Amino acid sequence: MISVDVENISKYFGNYKALDDISLHVEKGSVFGLLGPNGAGKTTLIRILMQIYAPDGGSVWIDGKKLSPEHTQLMGYLPEERGLYKKMTVGEQALFFAQLKGMSRNEAEKELKKWFEKFDILSWWDRKVEELSKGMAQKVQFIITVVHKPRLIVFDEPFSGFDPINVELLKNEILTLKEHATIIFSTHDMNSVEELCDEIALINRSKIILSGRVRAIKEQFKANLYAISFSYEGNPQELMPKGIEIRKLGDNDSYWDCVVYAPEDVLVKQLLSNILQQGKLISFKEVLPTFHAIFVSKVTGIPINEIVSYEKN
């Protein structure tokens, strides 16, 4: 495992500023998510980490040492634009890339076949790459990325093009890889952010507009929304203290499954007291925002409670 420090990175393409004074820290053994809309600068930052681009300002440090070509062998990189040589056999291509990362042919073949068996594609070892489906080709590229046991793994949209079953397969492998590697990945799949990431940085228009630990960010964006289920024969609005808004889910006139907006704790306590005295409380929980809601709110400026309430409906 290795740590990564990005310090005041800027990058221009002509007059266009792709990255504007970007700084972040990735802890050893963590899964770090790079989020942002298309064109925000995520892939540019990844390419700087992988030394494909040089920054116009700032620096990158790997375990306290300035990023240099010697770090390449410690890294695995799965780019968003996948690329395999179509006329080569799958096995020969995988061996070729593994040896580029310093593995001997015997060691590479042994490790690759373990991975191919795990991903249920060993029977394709001697087939041409051009015969692979898109999903199978992406499995091969994932294996090529991790087979040399890199200490830093960078994934750019790793779930793109995968069906739900294979997405789950990759998520499980990423969690396993975390045991010996630091992982950075860019994704638009907000569910995977909540499932996998320890920390995130949200980039928009070349700047970081939000960063931190996943749980802390969800707490920070609490929307004062609560999901409540209760039974009551009358009009539920009679139970609502002044200042509480209610949105009903479902059509049962005596069973109320709803989302309420309660901007003050005292209102929540009063509401629960009213329900317990006059009806029957079935369930109650605070609704924390999803990362999808946080993402949309930060990028568009729409209030978080409006997005979360809409999602619940």
What would the pLDDT profile of 142-155 be if each residue is shown by its tens digit? 999 999 999 999 99
- CA 247/CA 312 separation, integer angstroms: 9
The string of pLDDT tens digits covering residues 37-91 is 888 889 999 999 999 999 999 999 999 899 999 898 889 998 877 677 778 899 9
pLDDT of residue 60: 95
What are the angstrom distances between the C-alpha of 174 and each of 1, 159, 168? Answer: 14, 11, 10
Using pLDDT thresholds of 50, 70 and 90, give the confidence band for residue 310: low
Over residues 204-211, mean pLDDT: 91
Contact between residue 90 and residue 127 where contact means Cβ atoms under 8 Å apart: yes
Residue count of the chain, please give it: 313
pLDDT of residue 219: 86
What are the angstrom distances between the C-alpha of 15 and each of 19, 87, 245? Answer: 12, 40, 49
Phi and psi, residue 303, nearest 5°: -55, 140
0.85 surpassed by pTM: no
Contact between residue 24 and residue 211 where contact means Cβ atoms under 8 Å apart: yes
Above 70 in pLDDT, residue 274?
A: yes
Amino acid at 155: F
Above 90 in pLDDT, residue 110?
A: yes
Above 60 in pLDDT, residue 312?
A: no
Above 80 in pLDDT, residue 307?
A: no
Using pLDDT thresholds of 50, 70 and 90, give the confidence band for residue 246: confident
- CA 278/CA 244 separation, integer angstroms: 17
Over residues 291-310, mean pLDDT: 81
Look at strands 31-35 and 199-204 and give their pairing. parallel
Over residues 260-280, mean pLDDT: 87
Using pLDDT thresholds of 50, 70 and 90, give the confidence band for residue 253: low
pLDDT of residue 293: 87
Above 70 in pLDDT, residue 313?
A: no
Over residues 8-30, mean pLDDT: 93
Instruction: Count the neighbouring beta carbons within 10 Å of the beta carbon of residue 276.
Output: 12
pLDDT of residue 292: 87
What are the angstrom distances between the C-alpha of 66 and each of 59, 71, 75, 281? Answer: 7, 9, 15, 59
Instruction: Strands of the chain (E only): list them.
Output: 4-13, 16-26, 31-35, 57-62, 65-66, 75-78, 152-156, 182-186, 199-204, 207-213, 225-231, 245-249, 255-261, 280-286
- CA 54/CA 50 separation, integer angstroms: 9
pLDDT of residue 5: 95
pLDDT of residue 10: 95
pLDDT of residue 311: 59
pLDDT of residue 54: 93
Over residues 236-259, mean pLDDT: 77
- CA 222/CA 224 separation, integer angstroms: 6
- Domains, in order of start, for the chain: 4-218 (3.40.50.300), 220-312 (3.30.70)
User: In a 10 Å sphere around its CB, with 0-12 CB exposed, 13-18 middle and 19+ buried, how is residue 218 labelled?
Assistant: middle
Contact between residue 119 and residue 111 where contact means Cβ atoms under 8 Å apart: no
Above 70 in pLDDT, residue 309?
A: no
How high is the mean pLDDT of the chain?
A: 87
pLDDT of residue 251: 62
The string of pLDDT tens digits covering residues 23-41 is 999 999 899 999 988 888 8
Above 90 in pLDDT, residue 111?
A: yes
pLDDT of residue 82: 65
- CA 11/CA 13 separation, integer angstroms: 7
